[in-house]
Structure 1
Amino acid sequence: MNLALWICAGLLAAVALAGGISKTFVPKEALAAAPGGGWTADVGVGFVKTLGVLELLAAVGLILPAAVGVAPVLVPVTAVCWVLLMVGAMITHGRLGEFRFVALNLAYLALAAVLVWGRFGPGSFSS
């Protein structure tokens, strides 16, 4: 169980890191031209950069607390936040008719939900 939860956390952290780097460092115009990035055309640069920084923090929060043994409860808390972020992403992509991205966000949401369930429940770091 522990290994499966670490794999979920690692996969989500990789996704968060990639998304965070792109939203933080790639110009908004380039993001808007990329597949799935059309939503950036309708929002400000600051909003996109803020989401990018939050995703970078999520990548750290999914791995580092448990890896160093300091406040490991932050792992499932971060996963809860990721679930909320994916709900927003699914709504945004759904409104734009980008249903393949809705399905992708649903898969990420499912991984995060498994991580939340596991780390708050049977696979918690305190057990």
Structure 2
Amino acid sequence: MELAYWIVAALLALFYLYAGGKKVTQSQEQLRPMMGWVDRVPMPLVRTIGALEILGAAGLILPPLTGIATWLAVAAATGLALIQVGGIAVHLSRGEARLIGLNITLLVTAAATAYLATTTWR
């Protein structure tokens, strides 16, 4: 189970480091082609979401790697899942039901990561 955790958590962390990094560093104009929803959300909130994604990625990797407060991996995975619930809600409110596939995939992956963290580090 530990190997499965590391594979899934590493992939999820890489995705969130990339996506969160873009949200934190790029302007609204630069984000708009990839994330049309940034027009409806204030940029400070977009930046906050990006920072939470980066912190979530760190939470998936650092606690299990160091063996310190490994329960934070479960909290990080749960937080990332909740971000995707919010993403699904935003897409549905914009009438973009066809765009929630990635959100659902990330939600399921984050839930699986939380489960694997729970069974690996009790």
Q: Check whether TM > 0.5.
A: yes
Alignment-derived partner of residue 2 in structure 1: 2
Alignment-derived partner of residue 14 in structure 2: 14
Alignment-derived partner of residue 29 in structure 2: 29
For the 8 Å contact 2:19–2:50, the answer to whether it is kept is yes
Alignment-derived partner of residue 72 in structure 1: 70
Unaligned runs of 5+ in 2: none
Q: Describe the shift of the 1:100–1:13 C-alpha distance in structure 2 as closer, same or farther (beyond 3 A).
A: farther
Alignment-derived partner of residue 94 in structure 2: 96
Aligned residues: 122
Q: Which letter maps to 1:19?
A: A
Distance in 2, matches of 1:9 and 1:57, equals 13
Distance in 2, matches of 1:99 and 1:4, equals 31
Distance in 1, matches of 2:41 and 2:102, equals 22
Q: Describe the shift of the 1:68–1:100 C-alpha distance in structure 2 as closer, same or farther (beyond 3 A).
A: farther
Q: TM-score, normalised to structure 2's length?
A: 0.92
Q: TM-score, normalised to structure 1's length?
A: 0.88
Distance in 2, matches of 1:111 and 1:44, equals 27
Q: How much does 1:47 deviate?
A: 0.8
Q: Which letter maps to 2:15?
A: V
Distance in 2, matches of 1:103 and 1:62, equals 23
Distance in 2, matches of 1:86 and 1:101, equals 12
Following TM superposition, the consecutive aligned residue runs of length 4 or more in structure 1 with deviations greater than 2 angstroms are: 94-101
Alignment-derived partner of residue 60 in structure 2: 62
List aligned pairs for 1:35-50, cutoff 5 A: 35=34, 37-50=35-48
Unaligned runs of 5+ in 1: none
